[in-house]
Amino acid sequence: MTSSQQLHVVVVGGGIAGLSAAIFAARAGVEVTLLEAVSELGGRSRTRDEDGFRFNMGPHALYRNGPAAAVLNEIGVKPAGTAPELAGALAWCEGGLHTLPGGPLSLMTTSLIGARDKLTLGALLARFPKLDPTPWNGRSLTEFLKETFASARLRDVFAALVRLSSYANAPDAMSAGMAIAQVQGALGNGVIYLDGGWQSMVTLLGEAAEKAGVRIRSGVRVRAIEDPVSQSGRSLSVRLRDDTSIAADGVVLALGPGEASALVDGGTDPVLSQHAERSLPVRAACLDVGLSRLPSPKRTFALGIDESTYVSLHSRAAQGMTPGGGAIFQLARYLAPDEKPDRTEIEVQLERQLDAMQPGWRDVACAKKLLLDVRVAHALPTAEMGGLAGRPRVDALEATRPGLSLAGDWVGPTGWLVDAAFASGRDAGRAAAHRARQVRQDG
Ligand SMILES: Cc1cc2nc3c(=O)[nH]c(=O)nc-3n(C[C@H](O)[C@H](O)[C@H](O)COP(=O)(O)OP(=O)(O)OC[C@H]3O[C@@H](n4cnc5c(N)ncnc54)[C@H](O)[C@@H]3O)c2cc1C
């Protein structure tokens, strides 16, 4: 490589992590190529159009004022959206609907818990924002629930709030510190549902990447990361499925741990293979329902207490989601780690809850889509790994595979779900550009 040759970073994966990495690497002054296996960008943040109904890949809510918001702000884009109205939110328990206790009024009036539990929960909610999650990082949510609540019903209520704010239904394994921090974020800052679905955010990021000079190639699957082709002068070679290869000075793998591991040294890299084998994925079954009109405008949200379910009218807060006058309900069952979901059972369970909230919905249903088993996040921060701090860093491969950086919702010490994808993407993009420059100087 001549010293005048432009440094080149390749980003593999065009989800949120890959798009963020590409933008920050390009802004750091290197040439960037982003390779995405399928024809569209966005990965799990895509939105599909079903007869004019905009279905996200399951219920998606963006945390306000969290790491994702900070990175979006740095990039200079602001996806439009609105916070869902949670006054009137319901709890589904023992086959019936109750008021969900979230604030003083709902706590007083709910039939979900008795007087003594109301006092206990009220006291916890009052001191909860100031509770330090750190000492709980290495302990499980089950331990936290046992030590905090004498009442089994209150343990169920708090576990449901954890599922709502983290998607995780694995109390024995999950780090309690991470669970507490997620519930604090949800109760404190809240979330927004994005207008037009999460695809709007993907589109804004794609535009920002192009503006930063990123060369985007979709429909291009990477097969392996290899040693450099002789004479290229670059330090890495990215082999594509059609057997051609691209020379690079740095590569960001913005993929899941299993996908990333398969690309490096035939799956034998010790760091990647360990994460691929040991990570506990967070999964959900999701049912999206499009209605031509809303039978019962007041019942828009219900959280399962003794069942791990969620029902929310996303089109109430998010604009541009339906053909005129229509409505979109997103329903989900948070899956336990070893759960094998059954299509019929899931549909019956979720539709029964919609029957209770929206009697007559079946007569106005125009679109329906079930995603039986989707991976919401690649790796739950467990108590065993000490919570978020136990995740691999963006430069975790520096010792075994110099020049490779990692990004995704299982990487880095910051945030959960898309918050982690954004934060690790930004850090990996900057690190890849910085390292490529260092190698050039050393050489
Ligand atoms: C049902 C569901 C609900 C969710 N709800 C929320 C929520 O409410 N709030 C929240 O913050 N987050 C939520 N998430 C999580 C959020 O969607 C993800 O954290 C985020 O989209 C992950 O982005 P990523 O870039 O890390 O990974 P991905 O989106 O998985 O992107 C990886 C990309 O890499 C591509 N790829 C794979 N292999 C190759 C290859 N060999 N060559 C080239 N490209 C390749 C894939 O096609 C994909 O586009 C939810 C996820 C799901 C599934």
* Res 234 pLDDT > 90: no
Task: Report the pLDDT averaged over residues 309-316.
Answer: 96
Q: What is the per-residue pLDDT for 233?
A: 73
Q: What is the per-residue pLDDT for 400?
A: 87
Query: Can you give the three-state secondary structure of the chain, one letter per residue?
Result: CCCCCCCEEEEECCCHHHHHHHHHHHHCCCEEEEEECCCCCCHHHCEEEECCEEEECCCCCEECCCHHHHHHHHHCCCCCEECCCCCCCEEEECCEEEECCCCHHHHHHCCCCCHHHHHHHHHHHHHHHHCCCHHHCCCEHHHHHHHHCCCHHHHHHHHHHHHHHHCCCCCCCEEHHHHHHHHHHHHHCCEEEECCCCHHHHHHHHHHHHHCCCEEEECCCEEEEECCCCCCCCCEEEEECCCCEEEECEEEECCCHHHHHHHEHHHCCHHHHHHHHHCCCEEEEEEEEEECCCCCCCCCEEEECCCCEEEEEHHHHCCCCCCCCCEEEEEEEEECCCCCCCHHHHHHHHHHHHHHHCCCHHHHEEEEEEEEEEEEECCCCECCCCHHHHCCCCCCCCCCCCCEEECCCCCCCCCCCHHHHHHHHHHHHHHHHHHHHHHHHHC
User: Which atom of ligand 1 is closest in space to residue 220's alpha carbon?
Assistant: 43
Mutate to test the pocket of ligand 1, among 65, 217, 255, 334 (most ligand atoms within 8 A of CB): 255
Instruction: Kindly give the distance from the C-alpha atom of residue 69 to the centroid of ligand 1, in angstroms, as a whole number.
Output: 17
Mutate to test the pocket of ligand 1, among 45, 62, 405, 410 (most ligand atoms within 8 A of CB): 45
Computed over every residue of the chain, the mean pLDDT equals: 95
Q: What is the per-residue pLDDT for 443?
A: 61
Shortest-distance Cα residue to atom 6 of ligand 1:
60
The predicted-structure confidence for 274-302, as pLDDT tens digits, reads as follows 999 999 999 999 999 999 999 999 999 99
The predicted-structure confidence for 198-233, as pLDDT tens digits, reads as follows 999 999 999 999 999 999 999 999 999 998 766 667
Task: Report the pLDDT averaged over residues 6-17.
Answer: 97
Instruction: Kindly give the distance from the C-alpha atom of residue 423 to the centroid of ligand 1, in angstroms, as a whole number.
Output: 14
Task: Report the pLDDT averaged over residues 357-380.
Answer: 97
The predicted-structure confidence for 237-274, as pLDDT tens digits, reads as follows 999 999 999 999 999 999 999 999 999 999 999 999 99
The predicted-structure confidence for 107-138, as pLDDT tens digits, reads as follows 999 999 999 999 999 999 999 999 999 999 99
The predicted-structure confidence for 177-196, as pLDDT tens digits, reads as follows 999 999 999 888 899 999 99
User: Which atom of ligand 1 is closest in space to residue 221's alpha carbon?
Assistant: 42
**350 against 437, higher pLDDT:** 350
Q: Say if pTM beats, i.e. exceeds, 0.75.
A: yes
CA 125 – CA 233 distance, rounded (Å): 59
CATH class of the structural domain 8-45+200-279+390-442: alpha beta
Instruction: Kindly give the distance from the C-alpha atom of residue 260 to the centroid of ligand 1, in angstroms, as a whole number.
Output: 13
Share of the chain above pLDDT 90, in %: 90
Mutate to test the pocket of ligand 1, among 65, 369, 376, 416 (most ligand atoms within 8 A of CB): 376
Q: What is the per-residue pLDDT for 406?
A: 98
Task: Report the pLDDT averaged over residues 337-360.
Answer: 97
Instruction: Kindly give the distance from the C-alpha atom of residue 348 to the centroid of ligand 1, in angstroms, as a whole number.
Output: 28
Instruction: Kindly give the distance from the C-alpha atom of residue 40 to the centroid of ligand 1, in angstroms, as a whole number.
Output: 12
Ligand 1 first shell, C-beta below 6 A: 12-18, 35-38, 43-45, 57-61, 221-222, 254-255, 259, 284, 286, 374, 376-377, 408-409, 417-419, 421
